[in-house]
Amino acid sequence: MNFTDMLAADRRLVILRLLIESNGSANESVLLSALEALGHGRTTQEDVRADLRFLKDAGAIRLEWFMERIAVAHLLMRGTDIAQGKITVEGIKRPKIGE
């Protein structure tokens, strides 16, 4: 796995954790701001959208679109299980025990 793939996997785990903290849903702009605040400073809106599509395809989230422009992510139980390390999905960083 190269560095770019490692960053993407970490971002996806962080997104799932952010969704847990935000009672299960957040829009892409809020997620982008939070990712930047948590050290993913070079993240773009397209990166976030690609990560959201990946998480949707992995069965971790459901996406809802407003005005066909703004994506809102809704956490699914599988996403919580992934964020807690109960399920491993390639392309999403596995949390360390105790994190």
- Residue range 21-38: average pLDDT? 96
CA-to-CA distance for 18 and 32, rounded, in angstroms? 11
pLDDT at 74: 98
Write down the mean pLDDT value for the chain.
94
**Quick count: other Cβ atoms within 10 Å of Cβ 29?**
13
pLDDT at 25 over 70: yes
Q: For the chain, list the domains and their CATH numbers.
A: 3-83 (1.10.10.10)
pLDDT at 28 over 80: yes
Contact 79, 92 (CB under 8 A): no
